[in-house]
Each structure stands twice: as structure tokens, then as C-alpha cells.
Structure 1
């Protein structure tokens, strides 16, 4: 994450006139191939997207990004239902030893299910975190390429 933020900050420091990106070719004169995610891309839009992603990563989603996501995740944003205590109709006395062992078995099964669910959540988190790292690495490479390409363009026009 740190490399991505540094790459985007470097890109911002290099690209002094972002609108100039609209007129730039993607390929450079040295023959280096652009990163795959930059092919067939408007450099100006990509520049803005990189800055937006960096800001969301550092400060959380913006109001515009949140409103775009709300229809998809509306169910996730609803407050959880409130639980109210209900008086029990069951007797407080023992109903037999078999029900006690049944409840013990149920609690062990519930604990095992909870552990399996926790392990599954941890594995899913690791999987998505690895994906996030891979994407941030690609975006950092793209920001570095865009900054170098812009600098080449500025240097060529200064001659």
C-alpha cells in the first residue's frame, strides 16, 4: 500500500498539467511496453482514477463513491435488527438428563461451526488481501510509467 501511495504522490509531483495527458501517446520513445492495464486507456482519466483510488484508500470512500455503492450493498448498510428479551414459557426445572446432553452436544457443534466459519473468514480475508496487494502493485507500476512517460514528453517538448 505504501508503494502505491508513494508512486501516486510521485506521479502528482511530476504531472504539473494533467490536461496535457489527453494529448499524449501511450508508447514511449525508448520502446518500453506500457503496463497491461494502461493499454487502450485515456491517460487523463487513468490519472484521475489513480488519485481517486489513493484518496479512498487513505481516507475512506467519498460521498460520491458511497452513493454509487449503496444500491448494491443497501442490505449491508441497514442497522442490525434489535433483539428484545422475551419471557420464557419453559419451566426452569430439569426435564431429564437426555435434554442436558443434547444441549451439551448442540453447544459443541455450534462451537465447531463457529470455529469453521472463523477459519473460512480468515482464509477469505487472506485471499482478498493478496488480490488487493496484486492490484495495488499493478496500479503503482502504472503510476510510475505514467510519470516517466509524462516527464519524457515534457523533456522532448523543451528541446
Structure 2
């Protein structure tokens, strides 16, 4: 009985959610051999409306976004911030950082809030990567292939 509970809890762990997302993006990346074919192809099928609601644009924009988020997860946010600074010349001052740091009293509540949000976002991103992979297969004529 304990093993069944552990398996269920592990299935819902943040680590496994991140691995599912990274696996879906890796599959997408291996499937999409010509990313430029994704330009101007909307993600507009009925089952995809919820998944695409957080970003407008074409499949190419989604492809780039998903790969970028995967890289942020694999390499860390600090490295991603450094890349953005180099690209856009944006810096964060110590005063701005102090405004967004939480009080010690609220850390557990804040952690659970963000953990729940992260699970939700990772699930949507994973569905988006799988949807994009399947749509790409349809666009190039191998639509009968599953995940």
C-alpha cells in the first residue's frame, strides 16, 4: 500500500512535472526538423484553445517559447537572466530585488502558492509541446502518428 501512495505522490512531484515537460519539448525538438515550416501556422484547433490562450501567435513562436523555457529549467534562471541582459541591456537594481523578496513569515504559504502555479503552468506547457508536435506531423503529412 505504501508503494502505491509513493508512486502517486511521485507522479505529481515537481521533478516529474518538469521531466514530462522537458521530455515533451525534446520530442517536439526531435520531430520538428524544419522549424521555419511553423511560421504563420496558427494553433487554432478546438482542443488547443486553452493551451494557446496564454500566447498569441503562430506555431513558430510557440516552438521558440517552449525551447526557451526548457533551457531556463535545464540551465537555471540566473543564466537566462544573464542572456536577457546581454540581449536587451536590462539590469535589475538591488532596490527592485528587495521589493519582490517575501517576508520570512509568508515563505511557506508563498512556496505552496508558487508550487501549485508552477505545476499548472508546466502541465499547460507540456500539452502545448505535445499539441505542436502533433500539428507539425499533420502539416508535413504524417498526421496518423501518435505521441
For residues 36 and 151 of structure 1, what CA distance do their matches in structure 2 show? Answer: 21
State yes or no: 1:138 paired with 2:112.
no
State yes or no: 1:11 paired with 2:28.
yes
**TM-score normalised to structure 1 length:** 0.61
Tell me the CA shift for residue 41 of structure 1: 1.9
Q: Is the 8 A contact 2:42 2:57 kept in 1?
A: no
Q: Is the 8 A contact 1:7 1:144 kept in 2?
A: yes
**Which contiguous aligned blocks of 4+ residues in structure 1 show a shift greater than 6 angstroms?**
none
Change in 2 beyond 3 A, CA 1:122/1:36: same
State yes or no: 1:124 paired with 2:104.
no
**TM-score normalised to structure 2 length:** 0.66
For residues 42 and 71 of structure 2, what CA distance do their matches in structure 1 show? Answer: 27
- Residue 47 of structure 2 is matched in structure 1 by 33
- Summarize deviations over 1:64-88 as a string: whole Å, max 9, x none: 22555954x321698xxxxxxxxxx
For residues 56 and 66 of structure 1, what CA distance do their matches in structure 2 show? Answer: 14
- Residue 38 of structure 2 is matched in structure 1 by 21
For residues 48 and 130 of structure 1, what CA distance do their matches in structure 2 show? Answer: 25
- Summarize deviations over 1:80-118 as a string: whole Å, max 9, x none: xxxxxxxxxxxxxxxxxxxxxxxxxxxxxxxxxxxxx54
For structure 2, the 5+ residue unaligned runs are 1-17, 98-102
For structure 1, the 5+ residue unaligned runs are 79-116
- Greater RCO (CA < 8 Å, at least 6 residues apart): 1
- Residue 66 of structure 2 is matched in structure 1 by 50
Q: Rg bigger for which structure?
A: 1
Change in 2 beyond 3 A, CA 1:74/1:22: same
